[in-house]
Structure 1
């Protein structure tokens, strides 16, 4: 059984924890608020704790805003070595909502990989809205999680859980493709804010 730790109890954190549970993984949920972690964990029979507690998962999903990544990297450091660390963020400038805050030749995932060089960083979920992960479908097809990373075995470990949960996976390639995934995620958010699509919608990927 794959063990997954989800850090964060927002809409995305709870949705991803639910997908992981549905995919047969054992789930640990960590948050800064122990009560919130406990409530989210109780809903799916997971274990819970606070940020700073030991990580039990071989896959660690950072269901947090982009600015929180640096703190998590510093707090856990070497504990993330050899773990599959999944970045779901879109590093959007929320002050202007007019662009990404990372350099044009970089990405949030690339910065994370630099901060935790021993980790096997994978980008995933940033092009999904929480509602489509919960429902498992979009536009009449299974919800597709687009992923990228340099470690094929790490991507497969995550993909196997997702497909077991009934989702589809599209592998966008190496970690340097995360810039495009983050731009894609930003575009989807812009369309939702402009009410061109709903927060229960998004892009469906058909093979």
Structure 2
């Protein structure tokens, strides 16, 4: 069980999270829904350690020297003058093992003709796929995905869903997904939450 306790975050004068407490269970897929600006991306940044809370502390969810968290944020930042394959290798080369081999994910997302080209030539959807592959490869216990289906065609969305279901069901990976279009991914979610008044509230659809 991943336990988050007493999380507080303000941006300027706006309370995003106030004494937030919640648990994330192994093998569960959580959907965080809501409009832009409600704090969905901020939550993922806090969970991943990319952003500090109001006490200037970085959240440390795992005691391991290498934090086993994969993160994909909206509008992925990749090295534009490296190829997709070089980007993947740069961020994952120090990992000893994966739930999926990189080439298998490349094939599943039909990127064989793109991975050796420079990222600066990629469409949004292709950049999105490379970023998702990197996040999946880096995850051991927790996978955080911010608007992951942006720019993906329907076939790629279905591929993405099947990969996540296998990761959760066969490997017990905990997955948190933010989205503004809950219906596209609703079938995946074990629990759906929205951010209201500094807290997370369960949504029944």
Please report the TM-score for the alignment, with normalisation by the length of structure 2.
0.31
Choose between structure 1 and 2: higher helix proportion.
1
Between structure 1 and structure 2, the one with the greater Rg is 2
Structure ranking higher on relative contact order (CA contacts 8 Å, 6+ apart): 2
Choose between structure 1 and 2: higher strand proportion.
2
